Chain A
């Protein structure tokens, strides 16, 4: 038997997983640092809230994803113009502009946000099933992309864009593809969030959210699917299970970012790989 608390946990963990998997595709696979992932999440949530009254659930998820990836395509175009730390602050700027614009739009409820988002009509178990199914689908999708030719293209662009170009890899197309797919996933996560909370405010899609998602990707190990999944689950659940951790959640996230960047740039996946290599010297892949 699952109660309201368990449903909340599953929903929150699933939403964070979807966001982290999407960002992992952009930042991890393709090497494009984004500090504005919450803007795409928010776009999906607002789009879903606006159309949820008139469309069936699958269509709402699709619309939310499409709106988010339309914005993602724009930011992707920006990534063709600026690189590395400049792309990072451009995407950060997109996040701030998104919240700054939404705060002032009457039809988006301005500061008060949108309320009375319709029920998903799946029942509690159905909603939990939907969350888990979407997470599984997205994990499989990113896993498949990583092993495909596209994943190879992403890796080449992430590793050394200039060399990739010299080898005839269309870096621009791969970057745009990474942004479009990754932000589509964020948009779907936004729709699930809108159905879950049934009311949304601009503050729920701010810079802190972008940084939290980035923390999950970095701590898990940039580019590693299992690492990101483990980190997203742990970092979401730890504050839930311990009041002390919850009070100092941001301090923990900040410290994890600093320590990972400083001492273990490969994150969880990097540490595990290093340990494996030490246990079986010369062996293994």
Chain B
């Protein structure tokens, strides 16, 4: 029974990591930028969800608004910060991204206050029981939400013209251009989708914890960097596997390794170990 609970808890956390990290891996695959500020967009999505739900009373409307606004914000981040840095060494964009992330966190603290905001009425409080497993509806929403979002992303990548253009651009930008693919547009759509996913993850976490805080992105931001490295960088399937695996390992680690290692450091132990042994990542395509 303990194991069922632990695995379930791990999968719930892991699906949150997955939705955030998939956006990061999309950005990395296309532009080779480690986009730390992604977690700042995740936090923005969570805040918009809570504030609009409280103002209008409608959670679906709030989630829709959050994904749209944050998607556009992501495109702006690309246009204003990353695009001018593309021909510089890759760590320049990484450091700039960390700077932007700190600015975003501090702005949330200044604008929304340091103590966080909650829904006026708690959302999805029912309990669901399937056989022996019981969980809160918010937990179930996180799992189902992640599956729906990631399946949708998978279909988009495999079945649509945008997906074909995206994959072509990642494989060979020059060749894609010569076949008439607008690679600049691909970048903007890519940032829109990645950021909208981050906003959706933020909304799910807001419902799950009934709390949004300025610093709620800190742990996911650096941890999801570790996840995309473990997942083989730009490899969407590998990123999902790494995210779920990390969620479960953390759930077990809290019980069995809590005496000598902090839970949030587990991801980085794996990160360092994997980078030393296989610098190309755990699930790299090569």
Contacts and interface: CB of A to CB of B under 8 A. Distances in A.
- A interacts with B: yes
Interface of A: 33, 35, 78, 81-82, 84-86, 88-90, 92-94, 96-97, 99-101, 103-105, 207, 211, 214-215, 218, 248, 250-251, 253-258, 261-262, 265
A158 B34 CA distance: 21
A256 B98 CA distance: 11
Contacts of B110: 248, 251
Contacts of B268: 92-94, 96-97, 100
Nearest to A105: B260
8 contacts: A33-B94, A78-B276, A85-B34, A85-B90, A88-B91, A104-B258, A251-B103, A254-B98
Contacts, number: 125
Contacts of A85: 34, 90-91, 94
Contact of A254 (B106, B261, B279): B106
Contacts of B81: 258, 262
B204 interface: no
Contacts of A99: 262, 265
Query: Chain A interface secondary structure, helix, strand, loop or mixed?
Result: helix
Interface residues of B, number: 43
Contact of B275 (A82, A251, A257, A265): A82
Nearest to A212: B102
Nearest to A92: B222
A100 B95 contact: no
Contact of B85 (A78, A88, A262): A262
Contact of B272 (A97, A103, A214): A97
| Across the A-B interface, the 8 shortest Cβ-Cβ residue pairs | A100-B265, A257-B99, A254-B102, A100-B262, A93-B268, A254-B103, A251-B106, A261-B96
B122 interface: no
Contacts of A265: 88, 92
B100 interface: yes
Contact of A103 (B102, B262, B271): B262
B96 A86 contact: no
Given A84-B89, A88-B91, A253-B102, A96 B260 contact: no
A258 B96 contact: yes
B182 interface: no
A177 B101 CA distance: 32
Contact of B222 (A86, A96, A104, A257): A96
B100 A254 contact: yes
A77 to B, nearest CB: 9
B5 interface: no
B286 to A, nearest CB: 15
